[in-house]
Amino acid sequence: MKKKNNILKIEHLSVAYGPIKAVKKVNLEVNQGECVALIGANGAGKTSLLKSILGIQKAEKGNIFFLGNDIGRKTTDKIVSLGLCLIPEGHIIFSSMTVLENLQLGAYHNPSDFDENIKRVFNYFPILQERSGQIAGTLSGGEQQMLSMGRALMSKPKLILVDEPSLGLAPKIVTDIFDIILELNREGYSILLAEQNAKKALECSHRCYVMKTGEIAVAGFSRELMDDPKIRQAYLGGS
């Protein structure tokens, strides 16, 4: 059995906003080279979980280990410099700056390999190279999402967290985005993907956790979950 190289390990994590318990005692792990999906309805706690991994939201209880380091107490900028990054939902970019400036900002923690990284990003997203001098706010929704992803890639991360990449995008663009996620995973990036679109998420991931009102309801290999009639019923809209 191949020894699994553990990148992210979350143990008994609880996140609360005052009296509201968004995440309850979650156990989750991501191994090297995996694409792990986190599916669940709106409000299930996926975004809160991702935010607490990055340190944007402090966890109440539990531990988060990244590459063996305990990052529960660290500040976000330290965590990002260790090689973790988040592509947030809603294609968040700096709209008054140019595409190039957005990408330059992405390289904050990794200025040395800038040229190499930007070539790679332009490879994935040739449209960004075309529009590199354009103001980011004038790009279309799909292009902004690509910019958001490109920005994350500039830091040459070891683990990419992706939050609802398909939100608000036309179906064709959604397919493109997921193709890119698959491509990235094939290149060796480890990915933790939070998605409402269970079908797409299961199609491109190795393993999957199903989240429901803050807890992990089901966990397993994506192929098996896709074939499970109960899961199909609840999350994939029937047979």
Partner 1 sequence: MEIFIAQLVSGIALGSIYVLLVTGFNLMLLVAKIIQFAYPQIVVISMYTCWGVLQLTDNKFLVILAGIAVSIILNILSEPIFRKITTTQGVDINASFVASMGMAMVIMDIMSHSINYGFPVAFPSEWVGGNLLSFGLITVSKGQLYALIGSIIAVLIFFYLLYRTNQGRFFRAIAENRFAACLVGIPIIKTSVFSYFIVGVLGGITAILFSMLIGSVSPWLGEFVALKMLAVSIVAGLGNLKGGLVCGLILGILETMAMGYISGSWSNVIAFVVMLVVVLIKPQGLFGSKI
Task: Read off the tokens for 172.
Answer: 């064709």
Binding to partner 1 (CB under 8 A) within 106-125 occurs at 106, 108-109
| Binding region for partner 1 (CB under 8 A) out of 16-24, 91-99, 189-197, 204-212 | 91-99
Cβ atoms 132, 24 nearer than 8 A: no
**Is position 75 an interface residue for partner 1 (rule: CB under 8 A)?**
yes
Binding track over 122-151 against partner 1, x by CB under 8 A: -----------------------------x
Is residue 62 within 8 Å of residue 100, measured between CB atoms? Answer: no
Residues 154-173 contacting partner 1, CB under 8 A:
155
CA nearest to 189, candidates 36, 3, 64? 36
For the beta carbon of residue 133, count every other beta carbon within 10 angstroms. 9
Tell me how far apart the alpha carbons of residues 2 and 13 are, in angstroms, rounded to a whole number: 28
Q: What is the largest CA-CA distance in the chain?
A: 51
101 binds partner 1 (CB under 8 A): yes
Residue among 8, 13, 54, 121 that touches partner 1 (CB under 8 A): 54
Q: Work out whether 81 is an interface residue with partner 1 (CB under 8 A).
A: yes
What is the Cα–Cα distance from 63 to 198, expressed in whole angstroms? 27
Q: Does 96 bind partner 1 (CB under 8 A)?
A: yes
Span of 59-67, 74-82, 118-126, 169-177 interacting with partner 1 by CB under 8 A? 74-82
φ, ψ of residue 85 in degrees (nearest 5): -145, 160
Angle at 228 between CA 225 and CA 233, to 5 degrees: 105
Q: Is the CB of residue 170 less than 8 Å from the CB of residue 139?
A: no
C-alpha 213 chain-centroid distance? 20
Q: Sign of torsion, CA 87 62 65 78?
A: positive
Among 40, 45, 88, 150, binds partner 1 (CB under 8 A): 88
Task: Give whichever of 6 and 104 is closer to partner 1, judged by the CB atom.
Answer: 104
What minimum distance in Å lies between the beta carbon of 155 and partner 1? 7
Pairing between β-strand 84-87 and β-strand 69-70 as defined by DSSP bridges: unpaired
Q: Yes or no: say if 38 and 228 are a contact pair by the CB < 8 Å rule.
A: no
Is residue 41 a contact point for partner 1 (CB under 8 A)?
no
Q: Does 100 bind partner 1 (CB under 8 A)?
A: no
Point out which span in 13-21, 81-89, 184-192, 224-232 binds partner 1 (CB under 8 A).
81-89
Q: Which is nearer to partner 1, 34 or 89 (CB)?
A: 89
77 near partner 1 (CB under 8 A): yes
Q: Min. distance of Cβ 195 from partner 1 in angstroms?
A: 18
Residues that bind partner 1 (CB under 8 A): 54, 56, 75-77, 80-81, 85-86, 88, 92-97, 101, 104-106, 108-109, 151-152, 155
